[in-house]
């Protein structure tokens, strides 16, 4: 490369304004650090005219040292051949689905999919002539595959599914899809790429919201799709055409998160199981939705396929909907807010979102999704204990309140 400062004594040296524009030497060779390299940049300065055609990086949008290291780490984690980074988990799902489908195709998807993914396919993709068929996660793999048509292009799964944590037989479904020439995609956010490896079970694409456990500190939006074979090539082409990119700083934070991912996940999982066991023994708890819990729905598939669980536990309270706020508003360590996968405990009411599903269990009682964070588990259980006491009091109040009303209706 030409060095703008290597001018002979007889030529004019560049002026100060010019010197500020061109790169200065950073003290020789870059030192090797334990922390990842953070390389920002849009323009790549090429060594000579012949380098414009590649094969090295020619423009920052395709990713520089930091994004390249993150993609390599995620391929390693999920046994993939290619990885595309997206600016959020939802963008990774919509981006990957967009890359794999054409006008006239049909997508077969579980009804327990993350709701914004369903909205993208239902209202976003329908404008491009792609149709959607939803299936009940309780259906057998054969029943689900019997719903494939000539137009079915892609099977979209999430297991455990959002909110209610319903399990799917992913290996079996992936095999049935492959036999019919249908591509398969799993939203693997629950597993964080660690607890379950879809690509090792015949799935074509594993997508995850890195926003959750990989970044892990409730401060970065990012998503990734990891794939093999033809699906990896389709994702790569589409990402190049559409122009998805993530900032180097955010990619750095994702790489940093990977260093402690397994340790954090083990702690989230152990605490969540302790909370789930405790909840299952409480009189005002109707059901604990946590497939890692022996005896819970989906436990057999979970024990077969999963290496462990994460911090998610959903609890069905035994009482009227009107008592929901007594439980939630008494929480302080559990923040009220969407998302999960950060260090902190969170809770959300699920009933409104569940009402939008076409299939699956319906509960007339409050359904609360908890994310068990990295706080001391005993503190979290003590807080849930007082929340259940408030809930109990609200149930009693609502009983005395509604009895005369019911009596009036009866008369
Ligand atoms: C949070 C989440 C997403 C979306 O991730 P964002 O980064 O918030 O867009 C996708 N799928 C699942 C299962 C999630 O929980």
In terms of Cα–Cα distance, which of 325, 324, 296, 323 is closest to 309? 296
Q: Where in the chain is the domain with CATH 3.40.640.10?
A: 62-256
**What pLDDT, on a 0 to 100 scale, did the predictor assign at position 360?**
79
How buried is 230 (Cβ within 10 angstroms: 0-12 exposed, 13-18 middle, 19+ buried)? Answer: exposed
Q: Where in the chain is the domain with CATH 3.90.1150.10?
A: 260-397
Distance 9 CA to ligand 1 centre (A): 60
**What pLDDT, on a 0 to 100 scale, did the predictor assign at position 9?**
55
Distance 247 CA to ligand 1 centre (A): 19
Query: Which pairing describes strands 285-289 and 223-227: parallel, antiparallel, or unpaired?
Result: unpaired
Residue 407 has pLDDT above 90, yes or no: no
Continuous segment of H or E residues that includes residue 88: none
% of the chain surpassing 90 pLDDT: 88
Active site residue 352: no
Residue 180 has pLDDT above 80, yes or no: yes
Nearest residue (CA) to ligand 1, atom 6: 89
How far is Cα 83 from Cα 265, in angstroms, rounded to an integer?
22
Contact, 57 vs 241, CB < 8 A? no
Distance 209 CA to ligand 1 centre (A): 5
**What pLDDT, on a 0 to 100 scale, did the predictor assign at position 3?**
57
Residue 410 has pLDDT above 60, yes or no: no
Q: Which of 209, 214, 346, 353 to probe ligand 1 with, by most ligand atoms within 8 A of CB?
A: 209
What confidence tens digit (pLDDT) does each residue in 381-399 have? 999 999 999 999 999 998 7
Q: What are all long-range contacts of 48-54, with beta carbons under 8 Å and residues at least 24 apart?
A: 48/1
Instruction: Determine the CATH number of domain 260-397.
Output: 3.90.1150.10
Catalytic residue among 71, 86, 111, 114: 114
What confidence tens digit (pLDDT) does each residue in 7-63 have? 555 578 899 999 888 878 776 677 889 999 999 999 999 999 999 998 989 999 999
**What pLDDT, on a 0 to 100 scale, did the predictor assign at position 408?**
34
Distance of CA 153 to the CA centre of its chain: 23
What confidence tens digit (pLDDT) does each residue in 126-152 have? 999 999 999 999 999 999 999 999 999
Catalytic residue among 153, 212, 284, 297: 212
DSSP codes, 321-379: GGGHHHHHTT-SSSEE-S---SSS-EEEE-HHHHTT-SSS---SS-EEEEE--SS-HHH
**What pLDDT, on a 0 to 100 scale, did the predictor assign at position 405?**
39
Residue 409 has pLDDT above 50, yes or no: no
Distance 117 CA to ligand 1 centre (A): 9
Contact, 381 vs 274, CB < 8 A? yes
Confidence of residue 1 (pLDDT cuts 50, 70, 90): very low
Confidence of residue 406 (pLDDT cuts 50, 70, 90): very low
Residue 403 has pLDDT above 60, yes or no: no
* Crossing angle between the packed helical segments 248-280 and 65-78, to the nearest 10 degrees: 30
Nearest atom (ligand 1) to Cα of 210:
7
Confidence of residue 401 (pLDDT cuts 50, 70, 90): low
Tokens 């993914």 correspond to 117
**pTM score, two decimals?**
0.93
Q: Which of 96-100, 202-206, 280-284, 361-365 has the lowest mean pLDDT?
A: 361-365
Residue 362 has pLDDT above 90, yes or no: no
**What pLDDT, on a 0 to 100 scale, did the predictor assign at position 342?**
98
Residue 297 has pLDDT above 60, yes or no: yes
Backbone angles phi, psi at 59, to 5 degrees: -155, 140
What confidence tens digit (pLDDT) does each residue in 236-261 have? 999 999 999 999 999 999 999 999 99
Continuous segment of H or E residues that includes residue 1: none
Provide the 10 A C-beta neighbour count for residue 409.
7
Across the range 326-353, mean pLDDT stands at 97
Instruction: For the chain, give the mean pLDDT.
Output: 93
**What pLDDT, on a 0 to 100 scale, did the predictor assign at position 404?**
43
Kindly report the three-state secondary structure assignment for every residue of 149-166: CCCEEEEEEECCCCCCCC
Active site residue 212: yes
What confidence tens digit (pLDDT) does each residue in 109-129 have? 999 999 999 999 999 899 999
Instruction: Determine the CATH number of domain 62-256.
Output: 3.40.640.10
């Amino acid at each position: 490369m030409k060095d703008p400062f290597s001018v002979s004594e007889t030529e004019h040296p560049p002026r100060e304004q010019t010197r500020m524009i061109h790169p200065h030497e950073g003290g020789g060779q870059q030192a090797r650090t334990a922390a990842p390299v953070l390389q920002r940049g849009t323009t790549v300065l090429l060594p000579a005219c012949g380098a414009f055609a590649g094969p090295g990086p020619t423009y920052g949008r395709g990713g520089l040292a930091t994004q390249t290291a993150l993609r390599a780490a995620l391929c390693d984690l999920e046994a993939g051949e290619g990885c595309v980074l997206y600016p959020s988990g939802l963008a990774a799902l919509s981006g990957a689905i967009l890359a794999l489908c054409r006008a006239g195709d049909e997508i077969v998807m579980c009804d327990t999919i993350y709701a914004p993914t369903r909205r993208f396919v239902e209202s976003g993709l329908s404008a491009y002539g792609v149709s959607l068929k939803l299936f009940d996660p309780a259906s057998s793999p054969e029943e689900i595959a019997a719903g494939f048509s000539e137009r079915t292009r892609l099977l979209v799964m999430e297991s455990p599914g959002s909110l209610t944590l319903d399990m799917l037989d992913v290996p079996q479904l992936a095999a049935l899809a492959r036999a019919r020439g249908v591509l398969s995609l799993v939203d693997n956010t629950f597993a964080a790429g660690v607890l379950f490896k879809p690509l090792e079970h015949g799935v074509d694409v594993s997508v995850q919201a890195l926003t959750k456990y990989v970044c892990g500190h409730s401060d970065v939006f990012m998503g990734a799709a990891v794939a093999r074979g033809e699906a990896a090539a389709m994702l790569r082409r589409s990402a190049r055409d559409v122009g998805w990119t993530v900032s180097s700083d955010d990619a750095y934070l994702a790489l940093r998160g990977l260093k402690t991912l397994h340790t954090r996940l083990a702690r989230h999982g152990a605490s969540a199981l302790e909370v789930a066991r405790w909840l299952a023994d409480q009189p005002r708890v109707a059901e604990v939705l946590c497939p890692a819990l022996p005896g819970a729905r989906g436990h057999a598939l979970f024990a077969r396929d999963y290496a462990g669980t994460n911090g998610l536990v959903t609890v069905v309270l035994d009482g009227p909907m009107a008592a929901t706020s007594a439980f939630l508003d008494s929480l302080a360590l559990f923040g009220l807010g969407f998302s999960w996968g950060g260090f902190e405990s969170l809770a959300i009411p699920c009933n409104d979102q569940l009402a939008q599903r076409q299939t699956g269990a319906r509960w007339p009682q409050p359904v609360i999704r908890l994310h068990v964070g990295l706080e001391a588990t005993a503190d979290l259980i003590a807080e849930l204990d007082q929340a259940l006491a408030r809930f109990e009091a609200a149930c009693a109040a609502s009983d005395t309140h509604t009895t005369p009303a019911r009596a009036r209706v009866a008369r």
